[in-house]
Amino acid sequence: MKKKSIAIIIVMMILINLPNFGGVKAANVSAQAYCIMEAGSNRVLYSSNMNEKLPMASTTKVMTAVLALEKGSLNDVIEIKKEWTGIEGTSIYLKEGEKLTLEDLLHGMMLVSGNDAAVSIACYIGGSIDNFAKMMNKKAKELGMKNTHFTNPNGLPDDDHYTTAYDFTLLASYAMKNENFVKIINDEKWSMPYEGKANQRTLYNKNKLLKSYEGANGVKTGFTKKARKCFVLAAKRNNMQVVGVLLHTENHYEESKMFLDMAFNNFTLKKVIEKGDYVKTVPMKGSKNGIIKLSAGSDVYFPLKSDEIADVKYKKVYNSGSDNYIADYSIKAGDETYNYSEELSVKKEDKGTFYNFKNLFKKFTNLIP
């Protein structure tokens, strides 16, 4: 059931439409573009210029981590090659020949933004930087990141390496559903072997939001001269997971806290679909009297303001193979409409048995004087 629920969430996220609205714009913000989203529904709560293409600097490493966790194993032992060392920018100072686990390299990349760790991960998982970039772009397409293009795993400047605040918030929402990803980015420190030295490398998490905001649980900083400061933020309160992206900003921590306060103060998760809610009855294939009653497979929550009411409409129900049924439905709140897909719960019945019993009972009672 757990795997099923995760799969449903992922399908919901992939199928969500690219919105034209983009939430409410906040005043006095230095970020050139931003997007704040509730991760369960992917509803955009606040935004500005969220579809503008901009560089994202080291926040790129969120995608690198996602692919590493999906394609590799944390216990994989990786021998560092010479060409993976001495990479420009921030570094964990890898040396040729040393052996580290994928988990070590992920911490080196996500806690202290090691560009050499990112290159090592990319070359191990993808075989080369170019091939890994293709994997990144394929994943971006799967997630609906329509205005994003990757050329490298670490975010070093390249005119063809860009994203939008909306696209990258979709990625953040997806990444925060991976338990290993969340654990890594929330580790306060991590120790790993240091080739040729008696002591270990000890890496300390550079994300100051984790210690300065209640409920903060991610994600990643970034900076280049061209991209300026970039930040992927995340916090969870009262079971509501909020994620967001600030691009080309100067006050990323202060503005992140402001947006998170706005989200938690103005929105509350409300149950809009209850598990077991009736959806539709369809005929059972290959059976004269059989029917299938379809109902909601899980509870669905949606972030709403105090004066908002969610309007849920089922649009289409279809068989996805065997006894699996999928429902396409929409949730409208205010002027905004979001589209989702959900796997339905199936209950088979033979109406013939019921009707035959009913008719037999009727005949029996008619015989009674």
Among residues 33, 35, 52, the alpha carbon closest in space to that of 228 is found at 33
Question: CB-based burial of residue 308 (10 Å sphere; 0-12 exposed, 13-18 middle, 19+ buried)?
Answer: middle
Question: Of 47, 58, 120, 298, which one is the catalytic site residue?
Answer: 58
Give the Cα separation of 3 and 244 in Å (integer).
26
Give the Cα separation of 176 and 120 in Å (integer).
23
Is position 220 annotated in a ligand binding site? yes
Among residues 299, 351, 265, the alpha carbon closest in space to that of 26 is found at 265
Question: Of 41, 47, 48, 113, which one is the catalytic site residue?
Answer: 113
* 345 is a catalytic site residue: no
* 58 is a catalytic site residue: yes
- Does residue 216 contact residue 235 with C-beta atoms inside 8 Å? yes
Going from the C-alpha of 144 to that of each of 1, 34, 347, the distances in angstroms are 26, 17, 33
Question: CB-based burial of residue 213 (10 Å sphere; 0-12 exposed, 13-18 middle, 19+ buried)?
Answer: middle
Length reported for the chain: 369
Longest CA–CA separation in the chain, Å = 102
Q: Phi and psi of 40, rounded to 5°?
A: -70, -40
* 47 is a catalytic site residue: no
Question: Of 61, 139, 236, 257, which one is the catalytic site residue?
Answer: 61
Give the Cα separation of 342 and 317 in Å (integer).
10
Question: Can you spell out the DSSP letters for 195-257?
Answer: TT-SSPEEEE---THHHHSTTEEEEEEEEETTTEEEEEEEEEETTEEEEEEEEEES-HHHHHH
Give the Cα separation of 138 and 125 in Å (integer).
14
Question: Can you spell out the DSSP letters for 109-166?
Answer: HHTT--HHHHHHHHHHHHSSHHHHHHHHHHHHHHTT-TT-B-S-SS----TT-BB-HH
Annotated binding site: 220
For the annotated binding site for substrate, the residues are: 220
- Active site residue ranges: 58, 61, 113
